[in-house]
Chain A
Amino acid sequence: MAKNKKLYGTMFDGALDLVPLIDVVFLILLFFILCGRLTVDQRTEQITVPPTRTAAKFDTKGWDRIVLNVYGSTQNGKPPRNTIALPPRPPWVTSAIDDYTGYKKLREALNTVHDKAEKYDDPKGTGMKLPKVIVEIRADAETEYRVVQEVQQVLSDTIDPANNMLPRQGLDPKSLKSFVNLDFTTRKPGEK
């Protein structure tokens, strides 16, 4: 009887035994702390990057990083396919043929980043001052390839989006605001 009283004493007292509840709640809490990832707005859920084999998580200390999202087919069509976005700025729709507004705005944003960034001399001896910034192109697997092509042209600053994407002619390479270090976002096959 003494043993039973010890085990069930609290029930006889009319008080609820909260210890199992606390145990369970702590376990759930621990699960969320360990498994949950606090995502930032730069990485939107509406983009499914393509799977690859050589994908790796690199340590790029000393370099700044900006993430450029390129959307594929999205739920409800918003934002439309081929839209580009440089968070936290609002997305720029580029789906219409011959509409270069998005690329023009991207270039304007990149100019600001370039001006603020730490620079290094181009090892190939072109005289260019390159920013210590890695541009991560996070393009959906279904994005049209042409958009990624155009984005790379805008990044290299060899074309002028404000002038119908025509090549910049007769410019001193030193005056260009090129971003040459790119990362293409990808995932390992099977990772959901």
Chain B
Amino acid sequence: MSHGDADAAEGKLDLVPLIDTVMLLLLFFIMTSKFTTEEKAISSLLPTDKGQLSNPQTKTVEEPKQVNIRIFPAGMEKGYQPSEYRDQLAKMRQPGQNIDFADFYIGANPLLKVDGKTLSRSRDAKAVSQALDEVHGFVMKSLETYESGTGERKDQHPVIIHCFSGMSWRFALIAYDAVRAYEATKATFKFSGNPDELARMREVTFAPPRIRNYSANELGNELFEIIHMK
């Protein structure tokens, strides 16, 4: 009679196979589990009736009305030549490095200086929330001055985000997020995530690239254009 059979005869349960199985399961979960951040998303719709894709019959000679959000390295001001912006940029950062501070402009409203370092602090939720609140407050206050009529939100002037191409993605996305938050306060329906609903919302897009060759001279030209944009 085997050991297991003897235990069974005595009324004892052989727990060894159970423990083996549970240990293997445990090992599997320990090895395969990853405690990652729960990611979410902000939806966007690229326009199909503008630029290269537009129908020539619908083109208009009238200058389109739009709200421009301009984002560029903090401290840069109007009144310089492209070559001077190129030199300022070279002093501000080494190639491949980030620009930590950005100036946000919406029309003639006073600027907001945004600290990118604070926004990158993943463990300091309070500081990040505070930095986000500042941007949201600034965008809400500014966009309120550009409200036109009381029609549907899709009839409001489109918002175009003009971010300097050498800035970090976080600055452009935060501006986009703030506009979406503003729109959520004005919307007549709650966005469920269904892409069909995006057509009923205000158009918020990122401006297409101004340059293709990202040499120092071209970056100076790009800064000149964004800083002097109306």
Which A residues have a C-beta under 8 Å from some C-beta of B? Answer: 18, 21-22, 25-26, 28-29, 32-33, 35-39, 43, 45, 48-60, 63, 70, 72, 81, 97-98, 122-126, 128, 130, 134, 136, 138-150, 152-153, 155-156, 158-159, 164-165, 167-169, 173, 176, 178-192
Residues of chain A with a CB closer than 8 A to B44's CB: 182-184
- Determine if B37 and A192 form an interchain contact, defined as CB atoms under 8 angstroms apart: yes
Chain B residues whose C-beta falls within 8 Å of the C-beta of A33 in the assembled complex: 29
| B residues in contact (CB < 8 Å) with A | 15, 18-19, 22-23, 25-26, 29-30, 32-49, 51-53, 55, 96, 98, 119-120, 122-123, 125-126, 128-129, 132, 136, 163-174, 176-178, 180-181, 184, 192-195, 198-199, 206-209, 212-215
Whether B122 lies near A48 (C-beta < 8 A) is yes
Contact present for B213 and A178 (CB under 8 Å): no
Select which of B96, B128, B166, B195 is within 8 A of A134 by beta carbon.
B195
How many residue pairs between the two chains, A and B, have CB atoms under 8 Å in the bound complex? 240
Known contacts A22-B18, A57-B40, A58-B193; is A149 also within 8 Å of B49 by CB? no
Q: List 18 A-B contacts (CB under 8 A).
A: A25-B26, A32-B30, A36-B34, A38-B34, A52-B42, A54-B177, A58-B194, A63-B195, A81-B96, A126-B55, A141-B119, A142-B98, A149-B209, A152-B208, A153-B208, A164-B212, A180-B48, A192-B123
Interchain CB contact under 8 A, B48 and A53:
no
A48 and B176 alpha carbons, distance in the complex (Å): 18
**Complex: A150 Cα to B169 Cα, angstroms:** 12
Q: With A29-B29, A136-B41, A186-B41 known to touch, is A22 a contact of B22 (CB < 8 Å)?
A: yes
